[in-house]
Amino acid sequence: MGITGHLTMTFRGFEDLTVPAGTYKVFRIDIESNNLSLNYSPSVSDSNLELKTNMNIDMNYEIYMEYGTLRQVRSIMQQTVSASQQ
């Protein structure tokens, strides 16, 4: 199994965030993938079957953590995955 590519993590700063449970002082972290690729090529010695999988992943992830406790208050993830199997 191999994973290549880059993940970029950016700290965006502090803000007050209101969610149904209340208002929290949070800091935001953005995580973005760039050319993230997963390749899986197992060796199956007991049969002639060998499954190779290739995946390309584009991801944007926002995480809002409470200042002081590091509890996750909110997160938003958007991702696109394309996969092929041989």
In angstroms, rounded to a whole number, what is the distance separating the alpha carbons of residues 81 and 13? Answer: 29
Whether the pTM exceeds 0.85: the reply is: no
DSSP-derived 3-state class of residue 64: strand
DSSP reduced 3-state for 76:
strand
How far apart (Å, rounded) are the C-alpha atoms in residues 47 and 43? 9
Per-residue pLDDT reduced to its tens digit, 8-60: 999 999 999 999 999 999 999 999 998 899 888 776 655 566 678 888 989 99
* Joined tokens for residue 16: 């007050």
Give the mean pLDDT of 57-75. Answer: 96
pLDDT at 40: 83
